A and B are shown apart, each in its own frame.
Chain A
Amino acid sequence: MYLRILKKDLKRKKTMNCILLLFVILSAMFASSSVNNIVTVVNGLDYYFEKAGISDYAFIEKEDDSGTSISEILEKESSVKEYRKEEVIFSTAEHFIRNGKKLSDFSNMAIIMSIDEAKLNYFNSDNDIIKEVSPGKVYLSTFLSKDSGLEIGDTFQLVFGENELTLEFAGIVKDAFLGSEMMANPRIILSRSDYEKIRSDSYALNGNIGAIYYVNTDDIKALESAATDGTNIMFDGSVSTLKTTYIMNILTAGMLLVVSICLILVSFVILRFTIGFTIAEKFREIGVMKAVGIKNQSIRGIYLVKYFGIAVIGAVIGYTLSVPFGNMMLSSVSENMVLGNDNSVLIGILSSIAVVVIILLFCWGCTRKIKKLSPIDAVRSGQTGERFRKKGFIHLAKSKLGATGFLSLNDVLSSPKQYGIITIVFSICIMLVMILANIANTLNSERLLFLLGTTESDVYLNDSKRITEVMGGSKTLEEADEEIEKILSDNGMPGKVHIELMIQIPVSFEDTKTTVMFQQCRDTKASDYTYSKGTAPQYENEIALTEPIAEKLGADIGDTVKLTIDGKESEYIITALFQSFCQLGEAGRLHESVYIPDNKIAGSMAFQIDFDDEPDKKEIDSRIDKLKSIFVNSQIFNGKEYVNDTTRASDIIKQVKNLILLISIIIIIMITVLMERSFISKEKSEIALMKAIGFKNSSIVAHHTARFFIVSIAASIISIILCKPLTKLIADPIFGIMGAVSGISYEINKIEIFAVYPLVILAATLAGAFLTALYTKTIKASDTSDIE
């Protein structure tokens, strides 16, 4: 008999059962993909580094016969367990030509190597290891292929002196060592024969040959100390330092983690609501069963069997859909990483089983009411499903609203639980998008300039050629500055030019030795910069260090460290700690009066231009356009663009933000459609009654749509109110990892936050509600008599 009751129920309540099934599918899909994504993100870098074969420590060395080479150090150093060496050629943007122009305007050093030399695993876009490169083909790092706009099959020329190779772009390479947005050193992988061709012109390659060492060691500190003797090291870093270079990917993956947790919350809130909602509808039926003497246990059994069946079918379909859905979510953060986990199938299945168990627990909880109800209660109260308390806080008699508006508002207020849950779900979706938008906008604003160790200027001019000339001794820094100032003056926009210099200086404190990249600007004061602790260096013998460097040295504010500048060792007092986005957060600042010869400059930030006449933003933008036509081989930015170009984070976050906006819209539309459809099913009698007493179809559609309008307005208001504090709560720790320990003030784009997103969500909700509410047209006034 129970089976017959069950069979009838499934047939009769087709719509509600289908809606429930859809929600179970949605929940299982979210749960499986999200749990998998969480595991993937948490283990993300370890998984990637393990797959790539990254070692404990890495060095990049320029080949030079003079001084001590890394090979010599590694051979002698007892802490070294083993090391691998990749021979590479260093190159710049000038070596890559397409259609007579530079392929891309990248400023970092590019690394050319042969696939046969590979000592790491390099992955293609399908996350397969690249084992072979055919002659004439080339693999390029993601950002280089993106910046250059190359499509697979496109060709360009690699030119070194007399040697010119025409190469066909075969695909992207995911490079665990240099592929992060922060390192952003393009990797170019060629076939052995093509590499040899380039290598053959030793004259053209003079000074451009080098090697990358991947070292496994027992004692990183000892290795670091030993490496200070190396004279040709261009870069060295431990695996933990390398991990920090993926901060942007971790940041976006962290966002994904928040999204995943939210999706799981959303799915279970919906599930709990839907199960409660469908069971509440059955109180009359339950009452009848009780009245004819069926025991509580048996009644519960019927519903448990039914929900178990639906849960199993839903979980299987949901799990199947979770695979492409999870991949879609991960795709935005795994563009230059290999993300995944070895247990994804097991985790997915376990998550789906958890969904089934949770559904049964919900069902068990919801049917607990059956026990408490007498048959009469159930039959009486069951007529409308869920009437157990007084409703209606507002009265039509006292209201100034029209019938449709009043009914909508009254419905929402009369069922606070029902609409409250929808409001919470909508709010979560809107807030997620808003928070990500705030993070993306902040990363794309001048607010982060202090993290780059620069002061605010009108224009930033990235001119690697000019600074190389200074470093090479063909002109002095003052001459370079004056040259630019003259060009500015000749073009009617006089201004002052200065530049942040990078100087590599060995530092020792007690027994610890390391090499630190110091920043110094000859035309600004050390006190013009932001420090997180202490006071700015006031005198020549005072310095500031970033917290990671201070930690590495075991030093703190007030300690005296030894710096070797231009061969001369002197003592310096640490007066402040600061946060920096440069040099992977490991940097220092010298007082402006410390003399550094031009030939000791290891690098620089952009030339900064401050116009004499203090023009407004509009004028600066127009001058930037003019400067672009003057300095054709340089990159010219305003503060916002400069931050974005340096951090390269904004684009990834924007991608994630757009993905989440899309997911949010889809979730909101699905919830709206399913909820509205279930409301129509539940309110069939009321809709028929309204039609019978003369409500037009349009009024009923408006009534149903307006309820979701109210809900999305409420969700938008809640989101707008909570947006700022929640952004701070969620983003502060994220920016903290990046160095902004004391937090930053966020860039909130008022139009985006207060208008665009709420309107987009509102439009999606209204579209979903309106289209679904059209279904009410199929209910006839005469259906009033057919209500069960």
Chain B
Amino acid sequence: MNTILEVKDLCKTYIVNKRQNNVLRNISFTVSEGEMIAVMGPSGSGKSTLLYTVSGMDKMTAGDVFFCGRNMSELSENELAEMRLDDMGFIFQQMYMMKNLSVLDNIILPAVKSDKIQESRKSTVQRGQDLMRKLGIIEIMDNDINEVSGGQLQRACICRSMINNPRMMFADEPTGALNRKSSEEVMNELTKLNDDGTTIMLVTHDAKVAAKCTRVLFLVDGNIKGEYNINRERTLLDRERDLNNWLLEMGW
């Protein structure tokens, strides 16, 4: 399988109150197309920073990140923005949306903005509605964002991240703010997307969520302490138990 993301000696340092804080230290790993990779680790280990840095949302201090063969450190702000718009999708823990737009408008906004897909507004709307239908939220398309539940909103966020058919999706604790039922629904949608060929990298604290992925990176103090491949052919329960055991070994 082709490598979609290659991270080499990635470092990220913050200066807070004149003190240097090395959040990521020489991290290297690769992600192949079609993979669903989970990043786990204790709070403050650098999981979210890793996600934002490799997706070009934050600048790296040192190292190289190649996305689809392009070195992100050599790209301008505008090229990175274009890359995020056309080739990447994002889901956040909080369901951030534009507050003055309806749910459907929020979903189609990246498609309207993008030059990649040349289509009529009608086709864009049709695709947005299809995605909403697929994720079971078509009935809320004209709703205001404060009129829907958290689970529905997170699924709307997934629709938004999917609207430009991204090559890779990044999710920062996508189920962190949801109840168990909504979490399961969202994870099922993400798994389905991955089954359809979308590469996914997500940050999670939840072994149940990570067990649905193909690989887990365990981060401690800005270093990858361990890497765990999940056999998706086993039952979810078995995968979860094996992962928990491994996490215990890692000191989780």
Between A402, A403, A781, the greatest number of chain B beta carbons within 10 A of the residue's beta carbon is seen for: A781
B residues sitting closer than 8 Å to A (CB atoms) are 48, 52, 56-58, 77-78, 81-86, 88, 90, 92-94, 96-102, 104-105, 108-110, 112-114, 121, 124-125, 128, 142, 144, 146-147, 160-161, 172
Contacts of A399 in B (CB 8 A): 121
A residues sitting closer than 8 Å to B (CB atoms) are 380-381, 384, 387, 390-392, 395-397, 399-400, 402-404, 406-407, 410-411, 414-415, 685-686, 688-699, 780-782, 784-785, 787
CA distance A283 to B147 in the complex (A): 18
* B211 → A minimal CB distance (Å): 24
Contacts of B90 in A (CB 8 A): 692-693
Contacts of B113 in A (CB 8 A): 402-404, 693-695, 699
Q: What are 25 A-B residue pairs whose CB atoms fall within 8 Å in the complex?
A: A387-B99, A391-B99, A392-B102, A395-B142, A396-B108, A396-B109, A396-B112, A397-B121, A402-B113, A403-B112, A410-B101, A689-B98, A693-B109, A693-B113, A694-B83, A694-B85, A695-B81, A695-B85, A781-B56, A782-B52, A782-B57, A782-B58, A784-B57, A784-B92, A785-B92
Contacts of B96 in A (CB 8 A): 685-686, 688-689, 784, 787
Contact of A696 among B82, B100, B110 (CB under 8 A): B82
Are the CB atoms of A397 and B128 closer together than 8 Å?
yes
Contacts of A415 in B (CB 8 A): 100
Instruction: Kindly report which residue of chain A lies nearest to residue B79, judged by CB atoms.
Output: A696
CA distance A688 to B52 in the complex (A): 12
CA distance A696 to B94 in the complex (A): 22
Interface of A is mostly: helix
Instruction: Kindly report which residue of chain B lies nearest to residue A394, judged by CB atoms.
Output: B105
Are the CB atoms of A414 and B84 closer together than 8 Å?
no
Closest CB pairs A-B (n = 6): A694-B85, A781-B57, A782-B58, A396-B105, A414-B100, A782-B52
CA distance A782 to B47 in the complex (A): 13
Contacts of A390 in B (CB 8 A): 144, 147
Contacts of B88 in A (CB 8 A): 694
CA distance A391 to B105 in the complex (A): 12
Are the CB atoms of A392 and B78 closer together than 8 Å?
no
Contacts of A781 in B (CB 8 A): 52, 56-58, 84
Q: A387-B99, A785-B52 are in contact. Are A694 and B105 (CB under 8 A)?
A: no
CA distance A406 to B106 in the complex (A): 12
CA distance A693 to B80 in the complex (A): 11
* A165 → B minimal CB distance (Å): 75
Contacts of A387 in B (CB 8 A): 99, 146
CA distance A550 to B109 in the complex (A): 75
CA distance A698 to B121 in the complex (A): 23
Between B78, B105, B108, the greatest number of chain A beta carbons within 10 A of the residue's beta carbon is seen for: B105
Q: A391-B100, A410-B100, A686-B98 are in contact. Are A693 and B160 (CB under 8 A)?
A: yes
Instruction: Kindly report which residue of chain B lies nearest to residue A381, judged by CB atoms.
Output: B146
Contact of B99 among A384, A402, A785 (CB under 8 A): A384
* A773 → B minimal CB distance (Å): 16
CA distance A722 to B223 in the complex (A): 67
* B169 → A minimal CB distance (Å): 12
Contact of A694 among B92, B102, B114, B142 (CB under 8 A): B114
Q: What number of residue pairs across chains A and B have CB atoms under 8 A from each other?
A: 117
Contacts of B114 in A (CB 8 A): 694
Instruction: Kindly report which residue of chain B lies nearest to residue A412, judged by CB atoms.
Output: B100
* B97 → A minimal CB distance (Å): 7
* A784 → B minimal CB distance (Å): 6
CA distance A403 to B57 in the complex (A): 21
Are the CB atoms of A395 and B57 closer together than 8 Å?
no
Contacts of A411 in B (CB 8 A): 100
Are the CB atoms of A692 and B84 closer together than 8 Å?
yes
CA distance A697 to B128 in the complex (A): 25
Instruction: Kindly report which residue of chain A lies nearest to residue B124, judged by CB atoms.
Output: A397
Contact of A392 among B92, B93, B101, B108 (CB under 8 A): B101
CA distance A129 to B172 in the complex (A): 77
Between B93, B94, B98, the greatest number of chain A beta carbons within 10 A of the residue's beta carbon is seen for: B98
Instruction: Kindly report which residue of chain A lies nearest to residue B58, judged by CB atoms.
Output: A782
Are the CB atoms of B102 and A691 closer together than 8 Å?
no
Between A390, A396, A688, A694, the greatest number of chain B beta carbons within 10 A of the residue's beta carbon is seen for: A694
CA distance A781 to B85 in the complex (A): 12
Are the CB atoms of A697 and B78 closer together than 8 Å?
yes
Are the CB atoms of A692 and B57 closer together than 8 Å?
yes
Are the CB atoms of A780 and B121 closer together than 8 Å?
no
Q: A391-B99, A689-B96 are in contact. List 4 more A-B contacts (CB 8 A).
A: A381-B146, A404-B113, A415-B100, A694-B114
CA distance A782 to B170 in the complex (A): 12
Are the CB atoms of B125 and A397 closer together than 8 Å?
yes
Are the CB atoms of B58 and A407 closer together than 8 Å?
no
* A429 → B minimal CB distance (Å): 27
CA distance A688 to B58 in the complex (A): 11
Instruction: Kindly report which residue of chain A lies nearest to residue B49, judged by CB atoms.
Output: A782
Are the CB atoms of A400 and B121 closer together than 8 Å?
yes
Contacts of B52 in A (CB 8 A): 781-782, 785
Instruction: Kindly report which residue of chain A lies nearest to residue B53, judged by CB atoms.
Output: A782
Contact of B110 among A410, A693, A697 (CB under 8 A): A693
Contacts of B104 in A (CB 8 A): 395-397
Contacts of B83 in A (CB 8 A): 694
Q: A403-B113, A785-B92 are in contact. Are A392 and B100 (CB under 8 A)?
A: yes
CA distance A692 to B90 in the complex (A): 7
Contact of B105 among A397, A697, A699, A787 (CB under 8 A): A397
Contacts of A689 in B (CB 8 A): 96-98
* B156 → A minimal CB distance (Å): 13
Instruction: Kindly report which residue of chain B lies nearest to residue A386, judged by CB atoms.
Output: B99
Q: A403-B112, A692-B57, A697-B77 are in contact. Are A396 and B101 (CB under 8 A)?
A: yes
Contacts of B101 in A (CB 8 A): 392, 396, 407, 410
Are the CB atoms of B144 and A391 closer together than 8 Å?
yes
CA distance A688 to B147 in the complex (A): 23
Q: A395-B105, A411-B100 are in contact. Are A694 and B57 (CB under 8 A)?
A: no
Contacts of B121 in A (CB 8 A): 397, 399-400
CA distance A782 to B82 in the complex (A): 16
Contacts of B105 in A (CB 8 A): 392, 395-397
Between A384, A392, A688, the greatest number of chain B beta carbons within 10 A of the residue's beta carbon is seen for: A392
CA distance A688 to B90 in the complex (A): 12
Instruction: Kindly report which residue of chain B lies nearest to residue A387, judged by CB atoms.
Output: B146
Are the CB atoms of B100 and A780 closer together than 8 Å?
no
CA distance A699 to B81 in the complex (A): 11
Contacts of B102 in A (CB 8 A): 392, 395, 397
Contacts of A685 in B (CB 8 A): 96
CA distance A693 to B112 in the complex (A): 12
